[in-house]
Amino acid sequence: MALPRSKKQIILAVFAILLLVIDQVSKYLVKTNMHLGESISVFGNWFQILFIENEGMAFGMAFGGEIGKYILTSFRIILFVVMLYYVNHLLKKDSTPMGVLVGLTAIMIGALGNIVDCMFYGLIFEPSTMGNVAEIVPFGQGYGKFMLGKVVDMLYFPIIDTTLPEWFPIKGGEEFVFFRPIFNIADSCITVGALYLLLFKWKFISAETKRLENK
């Protein structure tokens, strides 16, 4: 039996708020308790809380300086608005599986979590440095301009951290780390939501996309 639309809305709203709160609280705690580059071991060396600030894209990657930052933040905002519209559209259809709505909501909130960092963190935080733990400052007196805040990343899983043998082709004798990217809860929401939809709900997404194209 399909859930009533009102119940779906309540479930998705609670789910979205929960994800956003977890994302922002984790970033706030790291930002105001750790200096840049500080690491805390959670499970041995393979799971660490390692504080870095991301100038641009997900998983610690950079993108195009100040202009690139404006472009990326604008893209995230557009993505969020489009996905909000799409989720609302699917909510009106009783045939939409709840799993599809949950997956799309996770992606949408992941985008929103990093949008908050980009838009406001530069306005409300001191700069984080190797020797300074940031504090909240009066609005507008932070380290950056509107939309130019840095995204806080902290989840690091160097599951394999070793030196390759000298005989290894090309990279012999060099350090090898897997998994090297450092990310946050928002990135995780986007990745997990997208993988879930691709692996388990692709048939519905594909059919819905074709239906919209044929309108």
Q: Which range among 10-14, 97-101, 177-181 shows the weakest confidence by mean pLDDT?
A: 177-181
More confident residue, 121 or 60: 121
The percent of residues above 90 in pLDDT, for the chain, comes to 54
For residues 104-127, one letter each, b for 16 or more C-beta atoms within 10 angstroms of the residue's C-beta and e for the rest, the string is bbbbbbbbbbbbbbbbbbbbbbbe
Q: What is the pTM assigned to this prediction?
A: 0.84
6 or 48, which is more confident?
48
Mean pLDDT in residue range 26-38? 96
Greatest mean pLDDT among 34-43, 86-95, 177-186 lies in 34-43
pLDDT tens digit sequence for 143-169:
999 989 999 999 999 888 778 777 778
- 187 band by pLDDT with thresholds 50, 70 and 90: very high
Q: What is the pLDDT of residue 56?
A: 60
* Lowest mean per-residue pLDDT among 19-28, 38-47, 64-73, 114-123: 64-73
Strand-strand pairing, 160-163 and 39-43? unpaired
Chain segment 113-150, per-residue pLDDT in tens: 999 999 999 999 999 999 889 999 999 999 999 989 99
pLDDT digits (tens, 9 = 90+) for 76-114: 899 899 999 989 988 988 888 899 999 999 999 999 999
| Res. 178 pLDDT band, cuts 50 70 90 | confident
Is the pLDDT at 66 greater than 80? The verdict is no
How sure is the predictor about 57, in pLDDT bands with cuts at 50, 70 and 90? low
Residues designated catalytic: 153, 187
Distance (Å, rounded) from C-alpha 198 to C-alpha 204? 10
Check: CB of residue 104 under 8 Å from CB of residue 89.
no
What pLDDT was estimated at residue 71?
Answer: 83
